[in-house]
Structure 1
Amino acid sequence: MTSQPPCLSMHYALTPRTFLYSHYFATGLRAATGVIGLTLLALAASDLRTAMTVCIGALCTSLMDLPGPLRHKFNEMLASVLLGTVLTLVISLCAPLPWLLFIVVALVSFLASMMLAFGRRGMPLQFAALFSMTLAMQNMLTPIQSLAHAGLFMAGGLAYLWYAIGLAWLLRRRIKEQVLAEALYELAQYVDIKAGFYDIHTGLDAQLVALIRRQVVLAERQQAARDLVLRGRRGASDQVLVQVHYAMLDLYELVLATQTDYALLRRQFADSEVLTWMRDLVAKAARDIESVAYAVTRHRGSLQKVSYTPELRALDEAISRMEGQPGVSKEGLDLLRSAYSRISGMVGTVAQLHRATTPQAGSLELVPSVDMTPFLTQQKYELGVLRDNLRMDSPIFRFSLRVLLAVLAGLVVAGHLPYASHGYWIVLTIAVILKPSYSMTRQRRRDRLIGTLVGCALTLLILHLTRSPAVLLACLFIATAAGPTFVTIKYRYTAVAASMQILLQISLLLPESGHVVGERLVDTVLGALIATVFSFVLPNWEYRSLPRLLRGVLQASSAYLAASRELLQERAENDFVYRLRRKQFMDSLAALSAALLRMQDEPASKRRAVEEIHQFVLKNYLVASQIAAIRLLLRNHAEALPRDAVNNWLEQACDQACGMLDQARRALDTGLAPRLASAPAAIHADSAWTGWPPLQRRTRMLEDDVRQVAFQAGAIGRALQQTG
């Protein structure tokens, strides 16, 4: 049997087959239709300059047009309209007085950047505010004209708000489907990486690193799906989406439980085809999950077309033949059987995922009395959050000061240019490139420079071929759609679109303004240089956040172990608390992993304990895998299970693990090596129960992983203390 190509080697929304069904394309198309449509309506009723002002208001508001709960979306877009209108008015009034403009722009830049204290949803609001500010800087208007200009901006923003909210309400199920499908696509990629563990030609460590990186993205996508699918009242039309969501989470836990001793499997069966068949089975499952995601985006039930029978039959026969063969240890054969059983279970769960896409699948709702709020993102915009960050050790405060200083430097440079009427592009470039972390700033700088160069070249080509307003409007529509489509998945494309969008707008307003293309390039380079210099001013290096993130992981791990013990011992009424603690643990692990990846992009002198943190993350991930595997093991060996003996064994194992996590927290704070107790004494195993050997092996693996977590915590603590 031959190996199959991987499920998806790139982001699913970048492949032609799935692009048109993604929420990224839908967002871009919605934004372009609204912005250009409102511009044309305004143009039909007034002159071009008035229409372009309405266009700017709609464009700034469209930056907040992102998938999300309808109520949150309305509040965020309304805040963007009101804030943008006030900034447009204030900046327009100050524009004739350069000294006053300097002060106001600096203050606005600082306050807008402080909005990042509100979390991920604060980032688009921050940029919308800075975008409104920079576009208003070019206006030299009288007070009456400034009021009229701000009024037109507000009219465009409000018109777009109602357009976007109305469309989101009409297409609310469609948006849920698209976001849920994205989580499924990410799960498919996660499973595809799992297939690589059975390939003897791939390194285990490299494969585990890739898995952890995918876990970071998967956690974000699953949370986005929760926020849309599980929030608010759910009607009959949402039944399928809820079913698919819960089936997806069940499959994810089962995939998590497939983690095993791959090194032993490779040593024992490197010359056999069993690993190849296992790899092909898991790779097939990845493509099967992808087909479910594709069906969900097309509002269809999914039919399973993948057959696993050849590999399953071949594996079953091969394992039977290996019994008693020389060179195959009993431990290795037991491990192979266990891996085969878990992969078979995963295949069956994928079939359940297919069935969940049809209304006949039956409800998979949790207990009706359960409040799902703890699983959902709680978005609060409170002044107290800003006040709490007004201190020098706050990363948000330091970033805001950095933006303030960089913008002031940009204004000084722009004031000395011979084409000062377009100097606001420098400030806009700074706002786009300068981000809270050094790694994000570096990536944005590279994408912005390349994107601007390509965008300017394409615009020159278009203007050389035609000056037809109809053609330019068509190109403007495409650029306006491409901007929001690729902003989070391929920002370089967004940078190309943004350059074309602004240059085409200027060409429509001022047909003889071909010189602005060169000015655009110069301003972008100057803005990038300034952003680069100021990325080293009051920097927020990632190592400063490591102690907080590490403690968060250890605390969440302890809570997860406690909830797991209650569930495994059948003392919990349901698995609600277990699922919640697992989510919190994986979220904390994802946050630490993301910080580690960002730190690796920073200068070498600013990196701390990279290898130790890397091992800390891997071992914590394995802890979650061992818990999931133990839960599956008890489910598969439920027959004749000696509950009291098993509970005693689990009690000792979990107490031991929790004690080691307590030692890990102390070791992290002190930098001293943890003093770990020896393993618990063995309990007499009831030979009549077949689950004893795998249970004891799993708990030993769990204790070994937690022990390594504690040792790595001590090593990290020493490294952080030695380097200050």
Structure 2
Amino acid sequence: MKVMQVSPQRTTSEIKNFVLSPYFGDGLRITFGVLLPSLILFKFNLLNVGITISLGAVCASVPDTPGPILHRRNAMLISTSLVSVVSLLIGLGNWSPYILGILIVGFSFLFSMFYVYGARAASVGTAALLVMTLGIGDVRPILDIFLYSLSILAGGLWYTALSLSLYEIMPYRLAQQSLGDSIVEVARFMRIKAGFYGDQISYEDNFNKLIEAQIVVNEKQDAVREMLFKSREIVRESTQEGRFLLLVFVDMVDLFEQIMSTFYNYKNLHEQFDEAGILKKYEAILLQLAHQLEDTGYALKVGTIPHISPNLPRKIQELKQAISDLENGPDAEKYSPISIGALKNIEVNIENIFVRIKKIKGSFKVRKQRLLGKNELETSPFITHQDYDVKLFKENLSLSSQIFRHSMRVGIVMLLGFIIAQSYPFLHSNWILLTIMVIMKPGFSLTKERNYHRLIGTVAGAVVGMLILKWVEDKQALFAILLFCMLGAYSFQRKYYIVSVLFMTPFILILYDFLGMGSRAILIERVYDTLIGGGIAFIANYFLLPNWEHEKLRSVLTEMLSANLNYYRQVSGLYFGNAYERTPYKMARKDVFVKSANLASAFQRMFSEPKSKQNSIKEVHKFSVLNHLLSSYIATLVLYAKEHFDSIPDLEELKLIAENTEHLLEEAIKVLEHDEQVEPENIRLIKIRHQYDFEEEGAILIPEQFINIQKVALDIYKISEKIKV
């Protein structure tokens, strides 16, 4: 197996990418918004009030994630109002442990149910649970309770005003960073694809990396799509920057499809061409194209103009000549026409990728000249709308709802953690419940991962924190380290949770040292509370109303097949006289990308569950691989059809193969949905008898692509029969 080495250049690129990402921008904004109230009020000997206002700012920052500014504003205002009310009720409830217990159960259930309204609403619920857990046990006079609640409200409003002000100053900054991030991830996807042409490659390992990269690309593109298509200024394209961002995004999605289509039988290619050494040329050019793409992403983040490498056209011409030398050289009889055709098709695809990258880079110059015209893309069909109707909440009040079961589990476990903490004086309700709240997720695998990250991050961070306090005595140096840890904690919280906790623990220890509350005792107590909270959460997720991936496997698999079937119908129809319709086709393509990522994510989560719950794990993995092959083969067909639409010959005989492919996929869906058994004689391959003579060289692979897709559809049907859903 080929050992991958990380070069210093790649490490520098990763650091550069992170510093220019929305994550680091979030960290800077939250750090400033949280720290400033405490610093100002510290000068007036009102540090306790300042810390409370900072807590309100923290709560408002939780739902302030990338997206349309209208959604962010509404979420921050709702969160600010909600946390101030919750802090008031918890403050009053602290007078009675029984009332407090009832509030803990009620709030834990209610705010966990916010998951039914999507990720942003769930983050509003998380903010409410955060202020609830931190307020437990803080008994105050009634006037102080009201002042505490007002301070929370003030902190939330302050942070909301800060975030909205920054948006007004830089309205396109977040969209630029997010789009730049998605371009960098597409470049990473291309690098992994290039690996298939390298020496001693492990096909399975590289394919698994490819699937993981595809998940990330889809997540990034979905985030950018929502940000662009739901922002009025950009949708209207009233500014050059709005037109530019929309144009680049549309071109990038098309480019990703182009990269997806370069999927062939790499094992056969290596067996035939390794000795000739031509596959290394493919790898080198793809890596260079990936670098060009990555450079484009960085340029978008920084605000510079990227430049195309002048030697790329020469490299592509050298590749074309190398293919010609193989085809017409003395050893030409060693290579089949289909294999040579595959090399030509990949080379043509590389040329098209290069042209698309040139076009995207050219958009930067046109933007600077302010010559961009309006894009005719219809955006409304691509926008998903979240329903906030109370009816949706009521419909999920059933044990058949995974979110309801999760909410019940959180409510019960939070009460249990509170009772345990109250039973032992050395335990702290706040930390135990905070650990439970942060760790517990609707699925077992996510809870398991969070638990692991929380424990490792806390222990490692505690050790680092104690070493810092032992060796650093200068208060100014300690404050600088506190700032650094604070920035790290908030920057990594959405990307690498374990790193965020690693920074958060020293930050808290140093903060307590500044407040004169001790540090070593806090360290030991924090580790104890984390262990107890994590242990309770993990056990509960396994035994108490658990959610296993195999329970929703049927819908994930059928949705994937239905998306690929619709995609295939859109594409195959182009070869049989159908007109190209831009919006339906792009909708079908988007659906395939989304459903592919959902399937791959479901498989990853299932793989981390207990062995006894991994129903048909091998079959699901093979199903995922086959569907990726299917969508890649379809992408190859569509790209040829779009580029040579006027020269497509009469392919009427292939229509029978196309219809049989649709039939096989339809039958596979029936098997997964209803466990129906189909008559064996209806499941077969249709063979081609006619030999096509194509004027266009690349078209020689069209019949083979239709045949390959039919074979993959049959394999999907067979594997669907074996999956236990």
TM-score band w.r.t. shorter chain: over 0.9
Q: C-alpha deviations, 1:40-88, integer Å up to 9, x for none? A: 2333456121111111111111222222110000011111111111110
Verify the 8 A CA contact 1:637 1:690 in the aligned structure 2: no
Contact 2:489 2:500 in 1 (8 A): yes
Map 1:432-451 → 2, pairs under 5 A = 432-451=438-457
Q: Is the 8 A contact 2:509 2:519 kept in 1?
A: no
Corresponding residue to 1:619 among 603, 615, 626: 626
Give secondary structure in 2 for the equivalent of 1:378: coil
Deviation at 1:272?
Answer: 1.3
Contact preservation (8 Å) 1:257, 1:625: yes
CA distance in 2, matches of 1:566, 1:317: 35
2:276 maps to amino acid:
S
Are residues 1:657 and 2:661 paired?
Answer: yes
Corresponding residue to 1:281 among 281, 285, 291: 285
Query: Match for residue 301 of structure 1?
Result: 305
- Counterpart of 1:670, as a letter, is D
Change (3 A) 1:490 1:521: same
Distance 1:710 1:614 in 2: 14
Q: Is the Cα–Cα contact under 8 Å of residues 634 and 691 in structure 1 kept in the other structure? A: no
Distance 1:8 1:436 in 2: 39
Q: Deviation of residue 649 (structure 1)?
A: 4.8
Counterparts of 1:59-458 in structure 2 under 5 Å? 59-231=58-230, 232=232, 233-234=236-237, 235-305=239-309, 307-309=311-313, 311-324=315-328, 325-358=332-365, 359=367, 363=372, 366-367=375-376, 370=378, 372-420=379-427, 422-458=428-464
Task: Give the superposition deviation at 1:205.
Answer: 2.8
Deviations 1:526-570 (A, max 9, x none): 111111211212110110010111121122222222222445556
Q: Aligned letter for 2:364?
A: T
SS in 1 for 2:450: helix
Contact in 2 for aligned 1:507/1:513 (Cα 8 Å): yes
Does the 8 A contact of 2:341 with 2:698 survive in 1? no
Counterpart AA for 1:487: Q
- Residues 480 and 572 of structure 1, relative CA distance in 2, 3 Å threshold: farther
Distance 1:605 1:362 in 2: 61
> More displaced, 450-459 or 582-591?
450-459
Does the 8 Å contact 2:466/2:506 carry over to 1? no
Which residue number corresponds to residue 615 of structure 2?
608
Segments of 5+ residues of structure 1 without an aligned counterpart are none
Equivalent pair of 1:109/1:403 in contact (CA under 8 Å): yes
CA-to-aligned-CA distance 1:162-192 (integer Å, 9 cap, x gap):
1111112322211111000110011011101
Change in Cα spacing, 1:289 to 1:364, as seen in structure 2 (3 Å) is farther
Cα contact 2:341–2:697 (8 A) shared by 1? no
SS at match of 1:489: coil
* Match status 1:497 vs 2:503: yes
- 1:510-534 per-residue CA deviation (whole Å, 9 max, x = no partner) reads 4456522221121111111111211
CA contact (8 A) 1:259 1:622 kept: yes
Q: Is the 8 A contact 1:23 1:175 kept in 2?
A: yes
Q: How far does the alpha carbon of each residue in 1:701-723 deviate from its partner, in whole angstroms, 9 at most, with x for none? A: 1111112121111111xx33xxx
**Is contact 1:660–1:710 with CA below 8 Å preserved after alignment?**
yes
Q: CA RMSD in A?
A: 2.6
Secondary structure, in 3 states, of the residue corresponding to 2:51?
helix
Counterparts in 2 of 1:5 and 1:172: CA distance versus 1, 3 Å: farther
Question: Do 2:136 and 2:429's aligned partners in 1 also have CA atoms closer than 8 Å?
Answer: no
| Matched residues, number | 710
Give the letter aligned to residue 490 of structure 1: Y
In the other structure, the counterpart of 1:459 is 465
- Structure 2: distance between partners of 1:268 and 1:460: 60
- Shift in CA distance, 180/7, structure 1 to aligned 2, threshold 3 Å: farther
- Cα pair distance change 1:190/1:323, threshold 3 Å: same
CA contact (8 A) 1:54 1:155 kept: yes
1:481 aligns with 2:480: no
Distance 1:209 1:343 in 2: 23
Specify the alignment match of 1:666 in structure 2. 670
> What is the letter of the counterpart of residue 92 of structure 1?
G
Letter in 2 for 1:632: L
SS of 1:279's partner is helix
How far apart are residue 201 of structure 1 and its match? 1.0
1:612: Cα distance to partner? 1.2
In structure 2, distance between residues paired with 1:178 and 1:404: 38
Give the superposition deviation at 1:131.
Answer: 0.8
Tell me if 1:557 matches 2:556.
Answer: no
1:694 to 695, 701, 711: 701
In structure 2, C-alpha distance between the alignment counterparts of 1:564 and 1:204, rounded to whole Å: 28
2:484 partner letter: I
> Which amino acid in the other structure matches residue 500 of structure 1?
P
Contact 1:242 1:365 in 2 (8 A): no
2: CA distance, partners of 1:639 / 1:406:
65
Residue 364 of structure 2 aligns to a residue whose secondary structure is: coil
